Amino acid sequence: MNTNKKLSVRSIFVITLCLLMLVVTACSNGGSEGSNEKDADGNYTDNLTISVANLTEIKNGNLDNDFHKFWTDKFNVTWDYNYIDWDSWGEKLRLWINSGDLPDVSVWNYVHGDALNNIDQGLFYKFPDDWKERWPNVAAAYNLTGLGDKLEELTGGTYLLPRPIYYENKPADPLTNQIGVIALRKDWAEAVGFELKDAYTTTELNEYAALVKEKDPGKVGNKLVPLSYNAADAMTNIIMPNSVHAITDSPFFKGEDGQFHWGPAEPETLTGLKLMQKAYKDGLLNPEFYTWKNNEGQNNFKVTGTAAVTSLGGLASYRQGLDSDIRKNLGVDSDEMVHTAIVLGDDGKYRNLEQANFWSALIFNPEISDEKFERIMDLIDYSATKEGQLLINMGFEGTDWKYDENNELVSLLPEGTVLEDKYPARFEGLYLLGDDFSVVNPAIKKDYRDRAVKLFEEKAKLGTEGQSLATYDWDVNLYDSKAKSQASFDYQNEYANLILKSGDLEANWKGWVNSKMSLVQPYLDELNENF
């Protein structure tokens, strides 16, 4: 009996040892995931199927073009692509995160409180300590976001990659939000004797709109829309220039008294509301402006040609898009009819928000294999190089672009077309945002790029001189709580309702402020206690 028992134990030991050897062998060969080994030519030997979630819509599910093929061949990956709709972006990612169903890598609309909770619960992948040395191009861009360093202070590691807006082509310092740029009809301004300038006060723009309404230089009759703003545009271009903390992005701020205040309750906001109401009562805003969605305000300018002023935004790509739409819809050269400018408050000061240099973030499944994580990081590290950025934003050298005799970039795309027309759904530019390259992209007319940079520089200069930029306070802007959520309002519609309401505007505004204070005061108290 003793002999049989000893044989049994020995057999179990041998079997266990063999099984362990098999596991070790499988792991050393990369298991079912594959490895990141490369052949003599530097090509990855094993194909990896990588799931990715992004906002880029794949038309008809088609990834079969030369651009996508370059990336899948170079990095030997097969994409399992998951499209996220804008409207369900936040909710879908929240469900995936909490259920443990995140794709390998996803673009996430960053929410600071959620980020800290998810990191604390182990719902995001923790990067290896040496990741910045292994992927230096990603690290260089990451370091410019500010948020990366702040999160490392708070969490002791790296758990996500904030996506930089600007990398090598930051247009001005300090960097301002790109909102607050308008387009007006240059030809109509000349016809009514209105001076073209780089910056106008809100009242000056209203005066121009009134002149156009009176003289109708475009002969469009009752279709004329002097100020073609929707509710968000009106808030951005009438109220914000006079009261920078009146808008959604920065309604709470620390005053000179060291206490926190609610911007919508400040007298400057009433100034903006009065200007907005006057524009409405004078017939400068469309009677139904507050019902317009998305591009309805701009369409009067670029589709029907019936608007004198519209909200545009400060990126050169926006101006290029406006040019394309005007040529297509109105059959004219937009340079003959469009002038861009920034908007000042009635006191002549320029107000805007200092822009944090990030938007959204890349997050990884906490259970992602080392092999997949490393392959993705290899890909985005290449995408952040000069070669990668040229490919993402301009296509292939010799086919889509070239260098001229002065070593300047020249687009070879047919006039009026963009890279997206040729290679749709280019989601592989997962990390750096396109704003950065738009500053130098020759596919965008140089005049538009130069003008965009000039206006960014003018914003920085005027905002600094007047000490009127709302500075970005990391502690306050990243602070999150239940009280903060309860003190969040849809300001553009709140303001539209106020200027439409019958009775005295100032009395209505004061009543509105008082009605909100039961929700606002607890958050102000929290801010004063914590900061």
Domain final position from 409, 427, 445: 427
| Tens-digit pLDDT profile for residues 387-443 | 999 999 999 999 999 999 999 899 998 877 788 888 988 898 899 998 999 899 888
pLDDT score recorded for residue 20:
43
17 domain-assigned? no
34 domain-assigned? no
| Tens-digit pLDDT profile for residues 149-181 | 999 999 999 999 999 999 999 999 999 988 889
| Pair 134, 61 in one domain | yes
| Pair 224, 348 in one domain | yes
pLDDT score recorded for residue 306:
98
Computed on alpha carbons and rounded to an integer, the radius of gyration of the chain in Å comes to 28
| Pair 228, 333 in one domain | yes
Sign of the alpha-carbon dihedral angle for 325, 330, 332, 338 = negative
Largest CA distance in the chain: 114
434 domain-assigned? no
Distances (CA, A) of 438 to 160, 296, 317, 394: 25, 25, 6, 10
How far, in Å, CA of 45 to CA of 39, rounded?
A: 6
pLDDT score recorded for residue 33:
61
Element (H, E) at 135: none
Domain final position from 427, 455, 487: 427
Please give the tally of structural domains in the chain: 2
| Tens-digit pLDDT profile for residues 450-472 | 999 999 999 999 999 989 999 88
| Pair 53, 120 in one domain | yes
CATH number at residue 336: 3.40.190.10
104 domain-assigned? yes
Specify the amino acid at residue 272: G
| Pair 190, 155 in one domain | no
Domain final position from 395, 411, 427: 427
pLDDT score recorded for residue 61:
61
HEC profile of 272-340: HHHHHHHHHHCCCECCCHHHCCCCHHHHHHHCCCCEEEEECCCCHHHHHHHHHHHHHHHCCCHHHCEEE
Six token digits for residue 117: 């909770």
| Pair 118, 238 in one domain | no
460 domain-assigned? no
| Pair 195, 262 in one domain | yes
| Pair 240, 320 in one domain | yes
37 domain-assigned? no
258 domain-assigned? yes
| Pair 282, 368 in one domain | no
How far, in Å, CA of 306 to CA of 310, rounded?
A: 11
- Residue 392 three-state SS: helix
| Pair 204, 326 in one domain | yes
| Pair 326, 421 in one domain | no
Domain containing 480 equals: 181-354+468-530
| Pair 335, 382 in one domain | no
Q: Which of 24-28, 77-81, 273-277 has the lowest mean pLDDT?
A: 24-28
pTM of the model as a whole = 0.83
